[in-house]
Amino acid sequence: MENVGTESSSRVAHRPRVLRIKRIVEETPTIKSFYVNCPEVASVAHPGQFVMVWVIGTDEIPMSISGAGKDGELRITVERVGDATERLHALKVGDQIGIRGPYGNWFDLSGEKLLMVGGGDGVAPLAFGAEVASSQGKEITAILGAKTSSELLFRSRMEELSTVLKLTTEDGSAGVKGLATDLLEETLRERKFDSLLACGPEPMLKKVFDIAKPYRVPVQISLERMMKCAIGLCGSCCVGPYRVCTDGPIFMGEQLERVSEEFGVFKRDKCGRKVQVAATRS
Amino acid sequence: MGSDLETAVGRLRLRNPTILAAGILGLTGPSLLRVWNAGAGAVVSKSVSREPSEGYPGPTVVQTPSGLLNAMGLPNPGVEDILGEFREAKKGGATVIASVFGGDGEEFASVAREVEKAKVDAVELNLSCPHLETLSIIGHDPDLVGGVVERTKEEVKIPVWAKLPGNTHIQNLVEVAKAAEAAGADALTVSNTYPAMAIDLETGKTILGHGGGGLSGPAIKPISVRLVYEVYEAVRIPVIGSGGVVTSEDAVEYLMAGASAVQIGTGIMERGLGVFEEVCSGIRSFMKERGFGKISEIIGLSH
Ligand SMILES: Cc1cc2nc3c(=O)[nH]c(=O)nc-3n(C[C@H](O)[C@H](O)[C@H](O)COP(=O)(O)OP(=O)(O)OC[C@H]3O[C@@H](n4cnc5c(N)ncnc54)[C@H](O)[C@@H]3O)c2cc1C
Ligand SMILES: Cc1cc2nc3c(=O)[nH]c(=O)nc-3n(C[C@H](O)[C@H](O)[C@H](O)COP(=O)(O)O)c2cc1C
Ligand code: FES
């Protein structure tokens, strides 16, 4: 039985591989990492890409790849926010989930000095990126933000991987009190970076984009939009003319400039109705 | 854009015979415009109803070795919210066809009346949805289809296309096609996806969140070409082919079977948005090689 499913999956790209959860790590009170053996995805995954996770009986949702090992181990890191993520959090080692992907484009890790800005669960793809970049000898400066100290995702992982790590919390329980973007300006003034990578709540991303503009550093920003098909057909993930699932999720500054009426302003819900970004989960 | 590829669906002229199929990248104005700018001859929107709908839970798509299955569940923001998107696409110069659906003739007609306000070029009735009272597919019942088309024609001046479900019961399909024609439909789109299912062997569960879904892509092309051929024989109004168009050969085959234009959906997954220009330039070369001067010379050639 073990191989029957994988055989038919291997003939087509867009079919979930049903796998057993190998390990679960509680990262913060609201975030857990799930590990599965999925060499077909892990061996070709790049930081910034995502998979569609079939939470069997509930829904299928997009999740960034937060790590991929040479041994075929694939990692996703999930914040509990609603139905499907709640259900995922209730699963145990040995339970099944489906994975299809990897999807989307990925961070360009070229250049020597990288600046990463992550908020909340947005640190997930950045940590994978930091892992790959640091193995190539790149110098990483990272600013991580969260509501409170216990919600700082991948703090020790990022401590190991980065040359400079700055922390912010909204309640001041760790690092500087405030938002990750509060430290961005001074960081950009301190030194010149070859690239700025950011992932997190959209109001934060918009601020990153605005603050970085005068510094002329190439920015790569990872966007989240409602994803259903992930193969560029259904149109639920559109931002301006772009499909976040296939043209993104990483967008360059020039692209974001083109969609300035949408980026940081509104997203679309499951029906396709506009919802203000400030009103969505941050 | 050479005018050699121009075609007409009744009184609606198209710059070329490739149309974006309903439900593909059709929820927003900028997205419809992108497909138009990529070379489509017209773009059909996502099917829209009176009230907003979230659609079905995922997985909403799954690929099989013989085609793509989807069960999106007709998610849409409701007609009121989508009018702005249509207006934006029209402002960008696109030829826009609004796909509409409802549980009965009244809803179809009222949604069609709303979309006409956004100055769309035609309305396509998605008849592949269940009738509210019976939950059987409207598009299998000649009387229901006749009623829906008639009510819609009373409400709008723009052309009304009726899109038939993927239905291999050819006698029934032809009856439905004739009923739509008799009720005043300006064109028929043949056809939607075919009922299908995929089951995961590890869990024994259906993969699509909804259970069943619709099959699209190259697998259904020969079936839909047959349906187009049969419907073309039975009616005098224009037919539009839909199902598995990926290359210009596919498109020409539909034209020969009797289609005045073709719609492309799943082909975008295989070829990207360049598929419209690829198909057009392939048709152009074919016409040149064989000495055809106009698309109309190919339409229905196999009859
Ligand atoms: C490319 C991408 C990468 C992502 N990576 C991560 C990650 O690494 N870790 C993480 O915790 N979250 C990630 N997300 C967000 C995650 O997909 C949503 O939090 C999740 O889908 C919520 O599902 P739910 O059923 O629990 O919530 P629901 O109750 O269904 O909805 C809660 C909110 O979640 C969002 N959401 C719901 N369904 C979807 C969907 N199908 N697609 C996108 N957003 C949705 C909406 O904003 C919604 O308002 C990512 C999203 C995208 C688009
Ligand atoms: C993801 C997806 C969504 C679709 N949504 C709709 C829809 O909203 N209304 C409709 O009439 N047809 C819908 N269809 C059917 C297509 O318009 C088309 O008729 C069918 O897929 C066959 O053509 P293809 O093989 O070129 O995709 C959808 C198809 C797919 C794959
Ligand atoms: S999720 Fe369907 S087009 Fe991107």
Note the pLDDT tens digit of each residue in A184-199.
999 999 999 999 999 9
CA A150 to centroid of ligand 1, rounded, Å: 21
A282: in domain? no
In a domain, A266, yes or no: yes
Task: State yes or no: pLDDT of A206 exceeds 70.
Answer: yes
pLDDT of residue B136: 76
Average pLDDT over residues A209-228: 97
- The predicted pLDDT at position A9 comes to 47
- Give the C-alpha separation, A76 to A50, whole Å: 9
What is the rounded distance in angstroms from the CA atom of residue B236 to the CA atom of residue B10?
Answer: 10
Q: How many CB atoms lie within 10 A of CB B133?
A: 8
- Asked if residue A131 belongs to a domain, the reply is yes
Structure tokens at A27: 């990262």
- Same-domain status, A149 and A235: yes
Number of Cβ within 10 Å of residue A123's Cβ equals: 31
pLDDT at position A10, please? 52
Q: Which tokens sit at A84? A: 């499907």
- Asked whether residue A281 is domain-assigned, the answer is no
Among A63, A103, A106, A121, the mutation site with the greatest number of ligand 1 atoms within 8 A of its Cβ is: A63
Please tell me if residue A279 touches chain B, with a CB cutoff of 8 Å: no
B55: left (phi over 0), alpha (psi -120 to 50) or beta: left
Query: What pTM was estimated for this model as a whole?
Result: 0.96
Beta strands in chain A (DSSP E): 17-20, 23-28, 31-37, 50-55, 59-68, 73-79, 96-103, 113-119, 139-146, 164-169, 176-177, 195-199, 219-222, 238-239, 242-243, 250-252, 266-268, 274-276
Q: Which residue of A has its CA nearest to B204?
A: A5
Choose among A90, A69, A65: nearest CA to A77: A65
Is A108 inside any structural domain? no
Q: Is A21 on the interface with B (CB under 8 A)?
A: no
Ligand 3 in contact with A229 (CB < 6 A)?
yes
Residue of A nearest to B66 (CA): A12
Return the residue whose CA atom lies nearest to atom 50 of ligand 1: A63
- Domain extent listing, chain B: 3-55+74-197+217-297
Expressed in angstroms and rounded, the spacing between residue B87 Cα and the centre of ligand 1 is 30
pLDDT at B3: 56
* End-to-end CA separation in angstroms for chain A: 42
Averaged over A141-164, what is the pLDDT? 97
Tell me, what's the pLDDT at A279? 55
- Indicate which residue of B42, B127, B129, B208 is catalytic: B129
User: What CATH number has the domain bearing residue A78?
Assistant: 2.40.30.10
Indicate whether A14 belongs to any domain.
yes
pLDDT digit string, tens, across residues A82-129: 999 999 999 999 999 999 999 999 999 999 999 999 999 999 999 999
pLDDT for residue A8 is more than 70: no
* Residue A148 sits in the same domain as residue A210: yes
Q: Which domain holds residue A233?
A: 113-276
Whether omega for the bond prior to residue B191 falls within 30 degrees of 0, making it cis, is yes
How many Å lie between the alpha carbon of B31 and the closest alpha carbon of chain A?
Answer: 5
- Do A128 and A266 lie in one domain? The reply is yes
- Domain end residue (candidates: A55, A72, A103): A103
Contact between B173 and B141 under an 8 Å Cβ cutoff? The reply is no
- Choose one of A103, A132, A163: the last residue of a domain: A103
Based on the domain organization, do A163 and A269 belong to the same domain?
yes
Would the CB atoms of B24 and A240 count as touching at under 8 Å? Answer: no
> Are residues A33 and A93 both part of a single domain?
yes
Whether the per-residue pLDDT at A27 is higher than 50: the answer is: yes
pLDDT at B133: 75
Using pLDDT thresholds of 50, 70 and 90, give the confidence band for residue A2: very low
Say yes or no: CB of residue A226 within 6 Å of ligand 1: yes
CB within 8 Å: B60 and A8: no
Indicate the SS3 state at residue A39: helix
Q: How far is the CA of B21 from the centre of ligand 2 (A)?
A: 6
The CATH number, out of the four listed (3.20.20.70, 3.40.50.300, 3.30.420.10, 3.30.460.10), of the domain defined by the range B3-55+74-197+217-297: 3.20.20.70
Q: Residue with structure tokens 């690929």?
A: B63
Specify the number of domains making up chain A. 2
Per-residue confidence (pLDDT) for residue B203, from 0 to 100: 96
Q: What is the pLDDT along chain B (303 residues), one digit of tens a residue?
A: 445 899 999 999 999 999 999 999 999 999 999 999 999 999 999 999 999 999 999 999 999 999 999 999 999 999 999 999 999 999 999 999 999 999 999 999 999 999 999 999 999 999 988 777 777 789 999 999 999 999 999 999 999 999 999 999 999 999 999 999 999 999 999 999 999 999 999 999 999 999 999 999 999 999 999 999 999 999 999 999 999 999 999 999 999 999 999 999 999 999 999 999 999 999 999 999 999 999 999 999 999
Catalytic-residue membership of B280? no
For residues A270 and A256, what is the distance between their CA atoms, to the nearest angstrom? 23
Identify whether A2 is part of a domain.
no
CATH of the domain at A234: 3.40.50.80
Q: Considering A69, A103, A137, which residue would you say is the last residue of a domain? A: A103
> With pLDDT > 70 as the criterion, what percentage of chain A qualifies?
95
For residues A151 and A252, membership in a common domain is answered with: yes
Structure confidence by residue, pLDDT tens digits, A263-272: 999 999 999 9
Same domain, residue pair A63 and A149: no
Kindly tell me the number of DSSP H helices and DSSP E strands found in chain A: 8, 18
Judge if A30 and A163 occupy the same domain.
Answer: no
Instruction: Let me know whether A68 and A156 are in one domain.
Output: no
